[in-house]
Amino acid sequence: MENLSADVTRPAEAVRTALRENLVGLYLYGSAVAGGLRPDSDVDLLAVTSGRLQHGERARLIAVLLHVSGRRAYDGPARPVELTVMLAEDLDPWRPVVQLQYGEWLREDAIADRLPGPHVDPDATLLLAMARDTGMSLFGPSAQELLPDIPHGAVRSAIVQSLPSLMEDLDGDERNVVLTLARMQATLDTGRFLPKDAAAEELALTAPRDQADMLRTAAAAYRGEMVDDWGQLAPAMKDFVARVSASINAAS
């Protein structure tokens, strides 16, 4: 990890310290390895364990994440971390079980010890596919050695199942939802996991003009090149969301 930035090495070492001998593999995926971290990008980490998280281990892991993740990190402002922990025997592309997930949107639940326990999460199929395709091993074997091959049918099913929960975040998180939708559609179209801004730029090539302009604005704002005004972009955004949601649901 000597060539990686502190944004990555600090949370990675914290996770390794917290999980100790239970850690089988730790993988960096997402923006950090596919186009570079953007101003608002999370550090996306997948940890695979040999045994289920015990209460003390879970508490220790949450505690270190609260210290090193996000603007409210106890040890000073830091880049946000999204960590997903899965058991090696639960890496089923069709029914993946997440032991623990942490992200800054879950900080208050983490502090109050309200994070859910082991649960099936279709979105984990997508992160497994991204981690296997482009993930960087920070500890343990390569992603291709440890993680299963993810059939495109499982990816397609996971995208359809993940859509309702994504739509719940639209009001107030417009840019992220639009860019995530663009990546979902691009993945269905090409089988590849593009960076969010690259997916938006690709869909803009064939979108109606107002939606294309909205997508390019969202991508530029994601890169920190401009400020996006979703009051002005709302009509095109709503048309795009309706169009792509229908396309994704038709893939079921």
Question: Does the pLDDT of residue 75 top 80, yes or no?
Answer: yes
Number of domains composing the chain: 2
In this prediction, residues 49-56 reach a mean pLDDT of: 96
**Helices 174-190 and 230-250, axial angle in degrees (round to 10):** 30
Mapping DSSP to helix (H, G, I), strand (E, B) and coil, where does residue 23 land?
strand
Q: Is 2 a residue whose pLDDT tops 80?
A: no
Residue 108 confidence class, pLDDT cut points 50, 70, 90: very high
Do 70 and 145 fall within a single domain?
Answer: yes
Asked if residue 199 has pLDDT above 70, the reply is yes
Looking at the fold, whether 28 and 132 belong to one and the same domain comes out as yes
Residue 125 binned pLDDT confidence (cut-offs 50, 70, 90): very high
| 220 and 98 housed in the same domain | no
% of the chain with per-residue pLDDT over 70: 99
Q: What is the pLDDT of residues 129-181, one digit of tens each?
A: 999 999 999 999 999 999 999 999 999 999 999 999 999 999 999 999 999 99
Q: Select from 149, 170, 191 the last residue of a domain.
A: 149
* Residue 48 and residue 169 in one domain: no
Q: What is the DSSP letter of 30?
A: G
Do 171 and 134 sit in the same domain of this protein?
no
Q: Is the pLDDT of residue 124 over 80?
A: yes
Distance CA 40, CA 105 (A): 13
Same domain for 141 and 161, yes or no, is: no
Instruction: Please report whether residue 1 resides in a domain.
Output: no
Q: Give the pair of three-digit tokens for residue 103.
A: 């992200």
Range of 87's domain?
6-149
Residue 192 has pLDDT above 70, yes or no: yes
Residue 127 tokens, joined: 């992160």
pLDDT in tens, 76-104: 899 999 999 999 999 999 999 999 999 99
Q: Report the pLDDT averaged over residues 116-137.
A: 96
209 and 242 co-located in one domain = yes
The catalytic residue among 13, 57, 82, 108 is: 82
Identify residue 137 by its one-letter amino acid code: S
Q: Say yes or no: 130 and 11 in one domain.
A: yes
Domain boundary among 112, 128, 149: 149
Catalytic (active site) residue 225:
no
What is the DSSP secondary structure assignment for residue 172, as one 8-state letter?
Answer: T
Rounded Cα gap, residues 184 and 199, in angstroms: 9
Q: Give the pTM.
A: 0.93
Tell me, yes or no, whether 177 and 63 share the same domain: no
Amino acid at the residue 60: R
Instruction: Judge if 88 and 192 occupy the same domain.
Output: no
pLDDT band for position 216 (cuts 50, 70, 90)? very high
Structure letter (DSSP) for residue 225: S
8-state DSSP, 99: S
SS3 state of residue 79: coil
Q: Which residues pair with 81 in a beta bridge?
A: 43
Name the average pLDDT for the chain: 95
Tokens at 22, concatenated: 């239970």
Length of the chain equals 252
Are 122 and 216 in a shared domain? no
Q: Please tell me whether residues 135 and 69 are part of one structural domain.
A: yes
DSSP secondary structure, 128-162, as one string: HHHHHHH-EEEESS-HHHHSPP--HHHHHHHHHHH
